[in-house]
Structure 1
Amino acid sequence: MIAVAGGKGGSGKTTTTVGLARAFSRRGAPVVAADADWDLPNLVELADETGEPVATPESTRETSDPRDASTVLGVARGERTLRVDRSAPVVLGAPGRPRERDAATVFADLDDVVPADTPLLLDCPAGASPDVAAPLRAADRCVLVTPLHRPALRDAVKTAAIARRLGCPPLGVVVTRSRSVPDAVSELFGCPVLGQIPTKSPVPLEDAAVEAAYDVVAAEIVETYGDDRWRIA
């Protein structure tokens, strides 16, 4: 399980979660991406708006809350059958009543349900809020996301420190809205820069240059971490 974490809101975490999920899928991997930002969930919406409709789990029995259909909670509790394949990532939304759920338990149960050879990405809350602790505790490693703005870098460094304290060391940094990255960024975070994502608006994920940049990041992650863990074609 890999947590996609960062500093301030708007740094590009959700875009990176979707971009990486699709990049892994293009490499032939079955992929699951789950929204761990339950107060401000937008992972499913972004995925739907920027590509083919997302793959969703199938119901195995009636859910206790219809709003939990095709969500991280529905899959974690066994109410939805997770059918992952290589054609498109499965994207899971936030639960219907997030404050009634123990996030740590849900993420642990989700990790048990998703096959071990399948990349599982968690789109984390922004910053160093208490809510970010649950996905960081559950994940094995994290990917940090930040633009090259001083406040965003400062907050992302705080998030990196929290991740390390929670046993979720960073695999590296994805720098968003940038054409080049100074060497000092790697030194600042104490981990490699996995890649930089160019500025393309208003819909970055529909741009070929952005897609190619996420392919580079995915290749780096597979080479350094996932090659002997995941089912990559």
Structure 2
Amino acid sequence: MEVTYVCQAASPARPNDDFVLATEDFVIVLDGATAPAGVDSGCVHDVPWLVARLAVNLAAALLTDPTAGLADVLRDGITATMADHGDTCDMENPDSPSSTVVILRRGRDAVDYAVLGDSAILIERGDGELIVAHDDRTAFLDDHSVAGVSRLRNTDEGFWIASNRPEAAARAIVGGVPRAEVKRAALVTDGVTRLVERYGRTWLDLLDRLDKHGPREVLADIRAEELATPPGTYRGKAHDDVTAVFCRF
């Protein structure tokens, strides 16, 4: 499996809350969530610390048992990261630092995947069928206020994300495709899915662009669209961290 990617902060003036960890057999993509100003997370660690620790713990679980189900890997990674907080942080705080998770693993017989939080994975079979695993539950919240998102985080009425609830792993989107049928794949954070959700591209357009021109050109597409969009057109950030990973089999 050949892996190419770009991972860039929304601005050089702030840290990148995205994180990528890639090997020839698996890829992990994380998109950390920065708490709004004034919200007490109950944690002494910042989001870059969280995504780095979570990535390491997920990778350790994948390497320890290469055949483990990805929901189990995700649960073990969250549990280990909670332990890494030690006694300095309140693991009961609903606003504890959190992250989306996307995992792609090439096994002996299958390419399997897990998606938790508002990121996506695209897998194309050799016959041209495109599988899209996109966790878009945050788009359907009945309350997008700071208090509303806090109330709905890691609940069945809202959305699930990797933070301080290991049971979130059971709510991930998981699946697999026979290895011989996989041609190419992509893992993207919501900084990239906006090309489809806001700017009129299709998932196949995105995959083709990654394949033919590479992740750097997709990043350029996103930044150009963001700059051309009038302020206030969409809810949320005008510019976001961007991670796009392309895998060729």
Do these two structures clear the TM 0.5 threshold for a shared fold by scoring above it? no
Q: Which has the higher helix share?
A: 1
Computing the radius of gyration from Cα coordinates, the structure with the larger value is 2
Q: Which has the higher strand share?
A: 2
The normalised TM-score by structure 1 is 0.36
